[in-house]
Structures are given as structure tokens and as C-alpha cells.
Chains A and B, each alone.
Chain A
Amino acid sequence: MNALLSEAQRDALQELMNISMGQAANALARLIETRITLSIPRIVAATPSEFAALLSQHEENWFTRQSFMGKVNGEALTQLTKEGCEALAVAMDYDVPLSDASRKELVLELANILAGACLTGFSEQLDLATKLSMPTLYVPTVNSGEQVVEYFRWTSTLLLEVEFSVDASLFDSKVIICLEQRSVQTLLASINELLE
């Protein structure tokens, strides 16, 4: 399933993300005063075709993208279900239906919290300091056959999938971390040190 990572490396990365996501959920839970159920993160190395398939789900989801630079470089894409965003907006006392401006604000805020948590996992626990830029909304470009035609330069894509659920309404989110080849080596070296 996963040629990029050994089982020990995958376990380590998953646990680091789990800890970071726990911190993000706690911040969010205090904000909306509701308990947030968090799934154990799923970590896979995505192939370009799997990555394109993921982006093709843009009817049901919002996507954001933001770059990060430092000891590891790359880009974080966050996918949030449209339905879940509305449910969360209610919990956060937004007026619904959301105006375009409020929706954008909410989506970017949530994406920043989630992607920020993933990067914090790298920075604080692996000593790989990175700076994350602000997110922007992103709509994948599709051709007449509804195929995603976006060209991505990322060859190594780590897909970190986390589900948040708020109250009874399922709020699904995924954070996708795309790393430069050299950064993948840096990341694995740090994980190996931790595993020694």
C-alpha cells in the first residue's frame, strides 16, 4: 500500500499527527463549546491519479491551498465538506444560510487551524520548523469531461486524512500535505531519529 513509508515510520507519523490534531480539536472545541470527535488520522502516500480523483470531488467540498517553507517545503491542501461547513457555522453562531463572505472566512479559518496543526506536528515534535502562508480558496480546473486538468508538480504526496464530527452532523475534513522530494528525505530522517 505504502512504498514511501515503512510501518514504523507510518505509525510514528500517524501518532505525531494524532497529537497535533488533538490540540487543534481542543482549540476548536473551546471555540464552539462542543465536544469534537476525532478519528485516528489515516496516512497514505497518494499517487498522482488518486490525488486527481480526490480533487474531482469539488462539487461536495471546499478546497483551500497554502504553501509552507522552512526545514521542509511544500504545500498543504485542505478539503472540507460543504455540508459540514454549514453545520459548523451554526455551532459557531454564524447566520445561516451563510453569505459568500462569511463562508469564505469560515472555510479559510478552519483550513488554517487544521493545516496549521499538521505543520505544528512537524515543527514541534520533529524539530522541523516551517512557516505556513495564509490559505486561499481553490477551485480545481476541470475540462468538458469533468476531469481535473490541474497540473501539480508534486510527485510525493502524503495524504493525511482526519475526520472531525461536531454534534450529530458529520463534518469531514482532509488535509493533504505535498512535499518536495528533498523534504520527504528530511522528514524521514527526523522520524528515523525519533525511532532509534
Chain B
Amino acid sequence: MAIPVTIADDSALSRKMIRRALPAHWDAEISEATNGREAILAVEAGKADVLFLDLQMPEMDGYQVLQTLKDHHEKTVVIVISADIQPEAVALVNSLGAFRFLKKPLVASELQQTLTEVGLL
């Protein structure tokens, strides 16, 4: 059965880059969110067993999404993909329960290795 996956990023280019970096043979049902609020709605709708999450987003940022998921004990596997790569951002994201922090520009092999580590590939 296809794995429900949501890509949350306000940039259309970034969403496209993440899609391109995913393995071609991966059986995933991909949805997109353009802000944190949409990302939370996708999780609630069962569309995000895996959530690729940007940090800088309008309405509700990635940190708030992580906090909300943590508060609700959601089982979503969150992989943060961010342009803000400062040590504090990485530490905060990890403390909020993200599975992995990947830097932009996204490297396809790093994303695929991460998916292997989660046992999704």
C-alpha cells in the first residue's frame, strides 16, 4: 500500500526539488502543503505518515508544526529540509522530535539514505 507523504514548503521550486529527489520506485501517495497550517491539516487527514517540512513558512512555521505534532503525540515521521542551517535551528528541531535535519539545497542521495534509515525504502 502506498505510504501517505506530505511535502510542506511555501516555495513551489522547493516542493518540486523534493519530489525530484524521491526515489522513482518509491510507492508513495504525495500531497503538498504551502504553510504549516496546511501541513497540520494533512497530518490530521492521514495524508502524512512522512512529512517533509520546511522551517520558514507563512501562517505557521515549521517549529510550530513540530511543537503541535509533539503536543498531540502524532506518529508522523518528520524530516526537516531547511535553508536555515545554523546550529541553534538544528538543535531546536531535534529537541522538538524531528527524525532528521537535511540542508538545502537538498541532495537526493542524503534524502534516500534518510528514508532507508527510517525503514521506508
Which A residues contact B (CB, under 8 angstroms)?
8, 11-12, 14-16, 18-19, 21-23, 25-26, 29-30, 35-36, 38, 40, 124-125, 194-195
Contact = CB atoms under 8 A, between A and B. Distances in A.
Given A11-B12, A19-B104, 20 more contacts: A12-B11, A12-B12, A14-B11, A15-B13, A15-B83, A18-B11, A18-B83, A18-B104, A19-B105, A22-B84, A22-B104, A25-B84, A26-B84, A29-B86, A35-B88, A36-B86, A38-B56, A38-B84, A124-B105, A125-B105
A30 B87 contact: yes
Contact of A22 (B12, B14, B85, B88): B85
Contacts of A195: 13, 16
Contacts of B12: 8, 11-12
A11 B11 contact: yes
Nearest to A121: B105
B35 interface: no
Contact of A21 (B13, B14, B83, B88): B83
A190 to B, nearest CB: 13
B88 A12 contact: no
Given A11-B12, A11-B13, A18 B86 contact: no
